[in-house]
A and B are shown apart, each in its own frame.
Chain A
Amino acid sequence: SQQGEEDPQALSIQEGENATMNCSYKTSINNLQWYRQNSGRGLVHLILIRSNEREKHSGRLRVTLDTSKKSSSLLITASRAADTASYFCAPKGSARQLTFGSGTQLTVLP
């Protein structure tokens, strides 16, 4: 299956620090997407990185992709309390649907 596994399951940091979360997957992909979900709400699309890309930036977000290791990482710099949320990766292969792991629960303490 194309399910991504996020690591760590939970992360707690102070405001202003950087947060790094990782994603591993098992089969080849066309792209990998990262999403954020605030408690009980819909998912917000953060970044899509294609299999031929190694790094992508969006504001305070930096995503890397290493297809040889079948892994991706999401870095949030200068974190804020508003970044508190669950973060999911969704590796996208030939299957039409996205498959999600359990996510990383990020808590940013003021």
Chain B
Amino acid sequence: KAGVTQTPRYLIKTRGQQVTLSCSPISGHRSVSWYQQTPGQGLQFLFEYFSETQRNKGNFPGRFSGRQFSNSRSEMNVSTLELGDSALYLCASSLGPNNEQFFGPGTRLTVL
């Protein structure tokens, strides 16, 4: 079974731009969660989608948004990028909220 895939793997943007990251979960998994990892703040939960609905949201500004499609693939969008948005963005999928989460390799976003 293929694992969680994330595209792109690396991205360089400038302040003020917007970015869209994509995540394809493991086949059959309906829950997709997003996390941001930075050296200063560690791993922080962004949001979770299940059956195309956002079920939970972390403490991030409205510039961070996401969605999930009917095939469970998910995208997250960050608008008006700031330098502090430079991070590794990780996506994880699971069968449901109480099952193991399996992570993708991440997208490394650098904001200049």
Contact = CB atoms under 8 A, between A and B. Distances in A.
A100 B43 contact: yes
B97 A96 contact: yes
A30 B58 CA distance: 20
B90 A98 contact: no
Interface in A15-38: 30-31, 33, 35
A23 B78 CA distance: 33
A42 B108 CA distance: 11
B108 A30 contact: no
A6 to B, nearest CB: 11
A33 B100 contact: yes
Contacts, number: 49
Sort chain A's interface into a size bin.
Answer: 20 to 34
A81 interface: no
Chain B contact residues: helix, strand, loop or mixed:
strand
B66 interface: no
A98 B105 contact: no
A100 B105 CA distance: 17
B70 interface: no
Contacts of A99: 45
B100 A97 contact: no
Contact of B48 (A88, A92, A97, A100): A97
Interface in B23-64: 33, 35, 42-43, 45, 48, 55-56, 58
Interface of A: 30-31, 33, 35, 40-45, 48, 88, 92, 95-103
